[in-house]
């Protein structure tokens, strides 16, 4: 799939819905950056930067990092040349103020209206996905002990890196992340629906089916708006 210029994709959905898995694939296929605020924050935490020291306790409690901190990080990254042709946002925006500010930033950069996809999935599926998730400590590839295991237990298929579990995938923290999602992020679906920008996929389906559903959405938008 090829994408021309200036299109932002926003993958919305609860923790564990598969946004990271699909947005990485999707960004690779469209040759645009995968823009995950969660990955950026985890990187800052692991490097012990000022941002990381601020974000760490908030993330460990399953709460959201303040909007002004997120927007500064996002705007700095968006200003880099590789983002000029389009981006796939994963886990951003997550609050109404973030969505409103993103709208202004995209407009000022000459981007078209974003394509927003809501990942719909039930709670029992989310718990299985989060408790079974392992990620590569080197490249960040995502696996699942139940549904997408690596070839060799504990080892990344791509680079042999050690697989690790995220500290915020503990059941007590997952509960808080779901509360934050319901209170602060779920209203974004209505926000984008009102603007006629929202599509949805059944994210409980298998990975290939979800990828196909995303492609179908893109093809439909291409047909409507011309080539993306």
Binding site for ligand AP5 (CB under 6 A): 13, 15-21, 37-38, 41, 58-59, 62-65, 70, 91-92, 94, 98, 129, 132-133, 142-144, 147-148, 168, 177, 205-207, 210
Q: Between 14 and 86, name the residue whose CB sits nearer to ligand AP5.
A: 14
Residue in 25, 166, 170, 193 annotated catalytic? 166
Least CB distance from residue 64 to ligand AP5, whole Å?
A: 4
User: Which token pair is 187?
Assistant: 């209203």
- Burial label for 20, CB within 10 Å (0-12, 13-18, 19+), is buried
Least CB distance from residue 218 to ligand AP5, whole Å?
A: 18
* Active-site residue flag, 224: no
* Active-site residue flag, 24: no
Residue in 133, 151, 194, 219 annotated catalytic? 133
Nearest to 18 by CA among 120, 103, 106: 120
164: CB partners within 8 A, 6+ apart? 134, 135, 136, 137
For the chain, give the number of residues: 228
Q: What is the CA radius of gyration of the chain?
A: 17
* Secondary structure of residue 211 in the 3-state scheme: helix
Residue whose beta carbon is closest to ligand AP5: 38
Q: Is 219 left (phi over 0), alpha (psi -120 to 50) or beta?
A: alpha
Least CB distance from residue 112 to ligand AP5, whole Å?
A: 22
Q: Between 25 and 113, name the residue whose CB sits nearer to ligand AP5.
A: 25
Least CB distance from residue 85 to ligand AP5, whole Å?
A: 22
* Active-site residue flag, 170: no
User: b/e string for 207-223 if b means 16 or more Cβ within 10 A?
Assistant: eeebbebbeebbeeeee
* Active-site residue flag, 128: no
* Active-site residue flag, 133: yes
Q: Between 3 and 174, name the residue whose CB sits nearer to ligand AP5.
A: 174
Q: Between 200 and 207, name the residue whose CB sits nearer to ligand AP5.
A: 207
> Catalytic site residues?
19, 94, 133, 166, 177
């Amino acid at each position: 799939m090829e994408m021309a210029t200036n299109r932002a994709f926003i993958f919305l959905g609860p923790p564990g819905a598969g946004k990271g898995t699909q947005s990485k694939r999707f960004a690779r296929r469209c040759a645009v950056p995968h823009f995950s605020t969660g990955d950026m924050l985890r990187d800052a935490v692991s490097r012990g930067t000022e941002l990381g020291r601020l974000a760490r306790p908030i993330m460990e409690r399953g709460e959201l990092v303040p909007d002004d901190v997120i927007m500064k990080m996002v705007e700095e990254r968006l200003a880099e040349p590789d983002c000029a042709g389009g981006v796939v946002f994963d886990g951003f925006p997550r609050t109404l103020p973030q969505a409103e500010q993103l709208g202004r930033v995209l407009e000022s950069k000459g981007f078209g209206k974003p394509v927003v996809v809501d990942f719909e999935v039930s709670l029992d599926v989310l718990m299985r996905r989060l408790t079974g998730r392992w990620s590569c400590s080197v490249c960040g590839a995502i696996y699942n002990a139940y549904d997408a295991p690596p070839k060799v237990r504990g080892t990344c298929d791509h680079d042999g890196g050690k697989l690790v579990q995220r500290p915020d995938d503990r059941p007590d923290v997952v509960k808080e992340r779901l509360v934050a999602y319901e209170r602060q992020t779920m209203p974004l679906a209505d926000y984008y629906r009102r603007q006629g920008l929202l599509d949805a996929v059944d994210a409980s389906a298998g990975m290939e089916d979800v990828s196909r559903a995303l492609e179908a959405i893109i093809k439909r938008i291409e047909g409507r708006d011309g080539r993306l």
